[in-house]
Amino acid sequence: MDAGQINELLQPKLTEIRHYLIRLGACPADAEDIVQETVYKAFLYIDSIENEKLSAWLYKVAINRYYDLCRRKKWTMVPIDMMEIPDSKLPEDGLLQQEKKEEVEAVLSQLAPLHRQLLIMKYEMEFSYQEIANLLGMRIEHVKSSLYQGRQQFKKKYRSEIK
């Protein structure tokens, strides 16, 4: 398999990883840099990575690089880009949707990084417990219990935020 074929196979996964990094709080430029570094490392180690574990390996490298970047920058958060609301007919609906989104983002930013990461993977990216466990190199039981803790933290903080 040549580099062009590998790149064609990797492109959808890399786009997904870039979106995930932005969702975690990386600015688009940093997310793009991390994805490029991940691709570079993938090409360096492609012979030693098992095909069925490639996706998990890519996520692991990208996430570790993102955390390195956060430590260097002292964990700065970047606001998420505005989302289009296609079914909204009234301007008030858009404002209400944006307010709700900002409340959720504020609460998510207060959670522990692992809990935020798991909630995004499960509820925004719609990964299964098994996929999350494989991507993060965790046991499925640990994923479930950490997700439960993350949901509880989120509920508690969300309720106190809207009061």
Give pTM, 2 decimals: 0.56
User: Which of 12-16, 87-91, 135-139 shows the lowest mean pLDDT across its residues?
Assistant: 87-91
CATH 1.10.10.10 assigned to 91-162: yes
Residues 6+ apart with CB under 8 A from 42: 10, 49, 54, 57, 58, 61
Mean pLDDT computed over every residue of the chain: 80
**pLDDT attached to residue 121:** 87
Angle between helices 3-24 and 28-45 (to 10 degrees): 140
Domain boundaries, the chain: 3-73, 91-162
**pLDDT attached to residue 77:** 46
CATH number at 3-73: 1.10.1740.10
CA distance 88 to 57: 40
